[in-house]
Structure 1
Amino acid sequence: MKTYNIAIIGAGMIGAAHASGYRAHQARLAGANHQFNLHTVCDAREDAAQELARVWGFAHTSSDWQAVLNNPDIDIVSVALPNFLHAEVAAAALRAGKHVLCEKPLALTAAQAKELTELAASSKGINGSVFNYRRIPAISMIKQLIEQGEIGTPTHLLVQYQTGYAADPLLPHSWRYTESRAGGGALHDIGAHAIDIARFLCGDILEIVGATEDTFIKHRYLPLTANAGHSHVTLSDQSAVVDTDDISSCVLRFNSGCQGLFSASRVTVGMGNTLSFTLTGSKGTVLFNSERPGEFQIARASKESGAFVTRANNPAFPYLSDLIPVPHDGVAIGYAEGFGFMIAEFMQAVAENRPYSKGNFADGLAVALVLEAIQHAARERRPVSISEFAGAQP
């Protein structure tokens, strides 16, 4: 029997999401010829690695990611590190023959993402980008309805990702507030998810018609102790410049002719972690808000007199009939379940030795191209075609 040993590199906030997903589905996806083993958690902070391993049942810990990749017993690697380490560690993992699931953004630049995607194409390992919002059953069901023509031809998309984690000026400075280490601010941290959902629903993006970005908290105090995620810690009296965006917005034009409005904010008080969209088609409209992930609203000209109706989770929605403990009408799901569905799909692709198609490195590159185009459009105050970055495409 083949045993796939799993390692998570990065024991911070998002590393826990990966650990939860693997733990939830390791037994469910075991088969007659294969099983999955929670092997190693790696982090430079040994105490963080040990705690994550303890909570989620991983057998080993390490503080050296290169040693983990050199370990022939490791088969699957989740890269859950700060943005500036994604490309380096993911590339090393691919070269070591591992199956790699890498956090977004795939890389700091489109050029780096291209190099990584080309390496992945020649690697024997399965590759995936973390675009977990595709796996929310309501969003996947909306995708099916679009493909079935239920709302006609998509004509306009309003997509937003709003959070408030950085609204407090006393949140300490970290890598997220330095462009050379983060790539961008709200745009790369949360906007990458919104752009992926835009592509998932409406296809490839042709042009950034116009864009703007702003930083409203221009300095933050340096922490006296290590911090993870968006936690508060004791601050020093030294501050550092913030050179990443707090808010980024743009107008999109898709290859299909659909128009789009996009916005990402990390300083919206009251919006903890909210992805929302309104998609209008020639025959109807759909609404989704991640604060209510177990439902969406749809209005169709040919049904219900064009009025909005709410469709709640039911076993006919993707993922719900076989990946939740209680597959019944109206059973709620949340962030952890959707993230776990993504992990389950990746594990299944590895077990079946087939490409992971819904959110692979090529999708990560496509998002990287759009993120870079948005930055150029905002800073140069002009429309930017994605084709201007054709050299970064594989």
Structure 2
Amino acid sequence: MANTLRVGMIGYRFMGKAHSNAWRQAPHFFPLKANVELHTICGRDAANVEAARKQFGWQNASTDWRAVVNSPDIDIIDINTPNDSHAEIAIAAAKAGKHILCEKPLALNVKQCDEMVAAVKKAKVVNMVCHNYRRIPAIAQAKKMIEEGTLGEIYHYHARYAQDWIVNPDFPLVWRLQKGVSGSGTHGDINAHIIDLGRYLVGEFKEVCGLMHTFIKERPLMDAGGKGQGLAANSGKKMGKVTVDDTALFIGRFKNGAVANLEATRFALGRKNHIEIEINGSKGSLHFDFEDMNRLKFFDNTNPADRMGFRDILVTQGGGVHPYVGQWWPPGHIIGYEHTFVHTIADFINACVEGKSVQPTFEDGLKNERVLEAVEESAKKRQWVKV
């Protein structure tokens, strides 16, 4: 390979760790059209970002994202920061002619998303939102089966994303619980994923009717040592107001006539990262459970009456039979959460070489945000809202 793509990554905690692993692994397992160089990792805390550099295998560390974005040595900007900085960094990166991978949700609101889409279109740079769950082999297989017409006309999309990490009222007021930084709570954090999967698998939303609720109104402020910890932090004695939702639910209609029922919560005790999806059509149904992510359940209504029932599709068959898994292990040797990021990075790298954005693009991020805002508006007005 003649060309090398040099990556600058802004942010280094949970998603920074997942992305770093993916940047390292993708060239070893996928037939990429360019070499990859982990050039610079960037964060606000010099000591912590240097520790991350050593741990994750980056060449350089920086505390100045603008310097990274404008560096002539960087080809790709990977944004893993809190949501309130996505737009500023991405727009600057586009102006600097960098290809951009950005964590979800794309931005705080539709206005920022519009500005980001305009910036990448004007600069003609490759852009992608990191909705990694699209590249779970079982989800990609579901997409293939739906497009082939295996389920017939789609009637229902039912999805639940449940976690429990903020049930404890003593858990501190991290940035994900502050609207000014996150945009919304559970809604933008995890509901965004199953909204994106609904758009990917079924189609565009037409209208929604939502409910959003906050169970714990005040939480301890973080102490000095817990600053910016995200999913884990130390709490102090002073209290602060929670300004986002703890749970978000909505029903809706797709433009193609299918109906939707989505629930996202971070108050489901026992659920650490539970994603469950069922799609019902005129010819059959699909069911997916992320806690058993290498399996897709399929009900085929064309089977004889004495052999009806959901059957398992173990999506680990290589040789092009099932998406992505042929680059990993022999059939039956399952893969995990981290592989979804590797698949995302692999597709993004090849897109950068080809100069053509790959789904989900910033335009997808904008469409997701329109649904998020419509649900929020609906919850406030207590009425149906068009997307």
Q: SS in structure 2 opposite 1:190?
A: helix
1:122 aligns to what SS in structure 2? helix
Q: Deviations over 1:98-140 (max 9, x none)?
A: 1100011111111111111111111132100011100000010
Aligned residues: 379
User: 2-side partners of 1:52 and 1:27: how far apart?
Assistant: 21
- 1:320 is matched with 325
Name 1:390's counterpart in structure 2.
Answer: none
Rounded Cα–Cα distance in structure 1 between residues aligned with 2:184 and 2:42? 26
Decide whether the 8 Å contact of 2:34 with 2:350 is kept in 1.
no
Contact 2:157/2:260, CA 8 A, preserved across alignment: yes
1:18 matched residue in structure 2: 19
Pair 353,377 (structure 1): closer, same or farther in 2 beyond 3 Å = same
CA distance in 2, matches of 1:246, 1:269: 13
Contact 1:204 1:255 in 2 (8 A): yes
- State the partner residue of 2:84: 84
Normalising by structure 2, we get a TM-score of 0.95
CA contact (8 A) 1:27 1:36 kept: no
**Runs of 4+ with deviation above 6 angstroms:** none
Matched, 1:382 2:383: yes
Q: Does 1:8 find its partner at 2:13?
A: no
2:94 maps to what in 1?
94
Amino acid at match of 1:232: A
User: Following TM superposition, by how much is the alpha carbon of 1:306 offset from its aligned partner in structure 2, in angstroms?
Assistant: 2.9
Q: CA deviation at 1:183?
A: 1.0
Structure 2 matches for 1:366-381, cutoff 5 A? 366-381=367-382
d(CA) in 1 for partners of 2:116, 2:233: 34
State the shift of 1:265 in Å. Answer: 0.4
Q: 1:34 to 1:140 in 2, by over 3 A?
A: closer
| Amino acid in the other structure paired with 1:239 | M
- 1:11-160 maps to which residues of 2 (within 5 A)? 11-28=12-29, 34-160=34-160
- Corresponding letter in the other structure for 1:177: L
Separation in structure 2 between the aligned mates of residue 160 and residue 353 of structure 1, nearest angstrom: 35
CA distance in 2, matches of 1:29, 1:283: 35
Q: What letter corresponds to residue 312 of structure 2 in structure 1?
A: T
Structure 1 contact 29–347 (Cα < 8 Å) conserved: no
8 Å contact from structure 1 (residues 70, 96) kept in 2? yes
The alpha-carbon distance between structure 1 residues 157 and 34, as it changes in their structure 2 partners (threshold 3 A), is: closer
CA distance in 2 between counterparts of 1:92 and 1:104 reads 18
CA distance in 2, matches of 1:142, 1:171: 37
- TM-score by length of structure 1 reads 0.94
Q: Shift in Å at residue 30 of structure 1?
A: 6.9
Kindly provide the amino acid, as one letter, of the partner of residue 216 in structure 2. I
Q: CA contact under 8 A between 2:41 and 2:60: conserved in structure 1?
A: yes
Indicate if the aligned counterparts of 1:26 and 1:37 stay in contact, CA closer than 8 A: no
String of CA shifts for 1:73-110, please: whole Å, max 9, x gaps: 00111100001111111111111111100011111111
**How do 1:228-247 residues align onto structure 2 when only pairs under 5 Å count?**
228-233=229-234, 235-247=235-247
Residue 217 of structure 2 is matched in structure 1 by: 218
Unmatched runs of 5 consecutive residues or more in structure 2 = none
Mapped partners of 1:34, 1:202: distance in 2 = 33
Q: In the TM superposition, what is the alpha-carbon distance from 1:62 to its structure 2 partner?
A: 0.3
Matched-pair contact (CA < 8 Å) for 1:163–1:272: yes
Q: Which amino acid aligns with 1:317?
A: H
2:288–2:296 contact (8 Å) kept in structure 1: yes
How far has the Cα of 1:381 moved from its partner? 0.5
* Structure 2 match to 1:308: 310
Identify the range of structure 1 (311-320 vs 194-203) with the bigger mean alpha-carbon deviation: 311-320
The sequence identity of aligned pairs, in percent, is 33
**CA 1:309–1:115 in 2, change beyond 3 Å: closer, same or farther?**
same
Cα–Cα, structure 1 residues 78 and 112, in superposed 2: closer, same or farther, change >3 Å? same
Q: Tell whether the 8 Å contact from 2:174 to 2:230 is kept in structure 1 after alignment.
A: no
Report the equivalent of 1:342: 344
Q: Secondary structure at the match of 1:55?
A: helix
Equivalent residue, structure 2, for 1:286: 286
Task: Please give the alpha-carbon distance, in whole angstroms, between the structure 2 residues aligned to 1:109 and 1:92.
Answer: 18
> Which residue identity lines up with residue 94 of structure 2 in the other structure?
L
| Structure 1 residue 259: Cα displacement | 0.3
Q: CA deviation at 1:5?
A: 0.6
Q: CA deviation at 1:29?
A: 5.2
Q: In 2, are the aligned partners of 1:29 and 1:35 still within 8 Å (CA)?
A: no
How far did 1:179 drift? 1.3
The alpha-carbon distance between structure 1 residues 35 and 29, as it changes in their structure 2 partners (threshold 3 A), is farther
Report if the CA contact (8 A) 2:286-2:299 is conserved: yes
Supply the distance in 1 between the matched residues of 2:375 and 2:349 (Cα, whole angstroms).
Answer: 33
CA deviations over 1:334-382 (Å, ceiling 9, x no partner): 11001110111001111222222x1010000000000000000001001
Q: Return the alpha-carbon distance in structure 1 between the equivalents of residues 157 and 23 of structure 2.
A: 33
Alpha-carbon distance in 2 for matches of 1:29, 1:126: 20
* Kept in 2: contact 1:284–1:306 (CA 8 A): no
Q: Give the AA of the match of 1:90.
A: A
RMSD: 1.3
Moved more, 185-194 or 221-230: 221-230
> Contact between 2:293 and 2:336, CA under 8 Å: does it hold in 1?
yes
Question: What's the offset of the Cα at 1:333?
Answer: 1.3
Please tell me the residue identity of whatever aligns with 1:331: H
Deviation at 1:34, TM superposition (A): 3.6
Note if 1:333 corresponds to 2:335: yes
State the AA in 2 paired with 1:359: P
> Post-superposition shift, 1:2?
2.2
Letter in 1 for 2:376: Q
